[in-house]
A and B are shown apart, each in its own frame.
Chain A
Amino acid sequence: GAGVSQSPRYKVAKRGQDVALRCDPISGHVSLFWYQQALGQGPEFLTYFQNEAQLDKSGLPSDRFFAERPEGSVSTLKIQRTQQEDSAVYLCASSLRGTDIYEQYFGPGTRLTVT
């Protein structure tokens, strides 16, 4: 079946611009996660949805970052007034909650470069 998809794959933004990154999780997956991966480091947690409810946004680095999942499927991560330190790969993952197995599956990521 289809995996997690993300778009765009690459985004170049000028400092101060707003960007929106999209994630399509695996069909039927209840849980959705966003992670940020800086160059040479492991991914770091940003936020977590269960269906349409955002249950944890403790990893969002500033109030310029906003995520939504209005219908419990597709999610959008929005970054307002981008800064150079926002340059990173943004990864989306989904998992099938409701069982004892919480294995997460990742999309290919969106590489954001802020110039």
Chain B
Amino acid sequence: GIQVEQSPPDLILQEGANSTLRCNFSDSVNNLQWFHQNPWGQLINLFYIPSGTKQNGRLSATTVATERYSLLYISSSQTTDSGVYFCAVDLLEYGNKLVFGAGTILRVKS
């Protein structure tokens, strides 16, 4: 099946710093989503981005489908950005079920 690898596994930032999270996947995908799982366990949709670039406030994401990777950029980080960031992909022929990476644990210190 498709493999999804995220890096780095852990990241500690000082408030105000910028960061880049990476997601590599092993096959062509129909859909790619980035999520933030907050300390209460809720998965919050950040981006639906099977290809191209999108921006939402301090966050932006780029997916290069032909090279099978996606990047999530966080600028001017805040303590509320702490949590786990997941990348998830699906293949249309698998009924759109999402396959998740292991996540990146982000801690932002004040």
How many A-B Cβ pairs are below 8 Å?
A: 58
Measured between beta carbons, the chain A residues less than 8 angstroms from B98 are: 33, 35, 43, 45, 93, 104
**Which A residue sits closest to B105, measured CB to CB?**
A40
Interface SS majority for chain A: strand
Contact with A along B57-97 (1 / 0, CB 8 A): 00000000000000000000000000000101010001111
Question: Which of under 10, 10 to 19, 20 to 34, or 35 or more describes the interface residues of B?
Answer: 20 to 34
| CB of B99 closer than 8 Å to a CB of A | yes
Closest partner residue, chain B, to A101 (CB atom): B48
**Residue A41 interfacial (CB < 8 Å):** yes
Select one of A50, A93, A108 contacting B41, CB under 8 A.
A108
- Contacting residues, chain A, for B94 (C-beta < 8 A): 56
New contact pairs (4) apart from A56-B95, A103-B33, A103-B45, CB-CB < 8 Å: A31-B96, A35-B98, A42-B103, A105-B45
B42 to A106, Cβ gap below 8 A? yes
Once the chains are docked, how many angstroms separate the CA of A89 from the CA of B40?
11
Is the Cβ of A42 less than 8 Å from the Cβ of B102?
Answer: yes
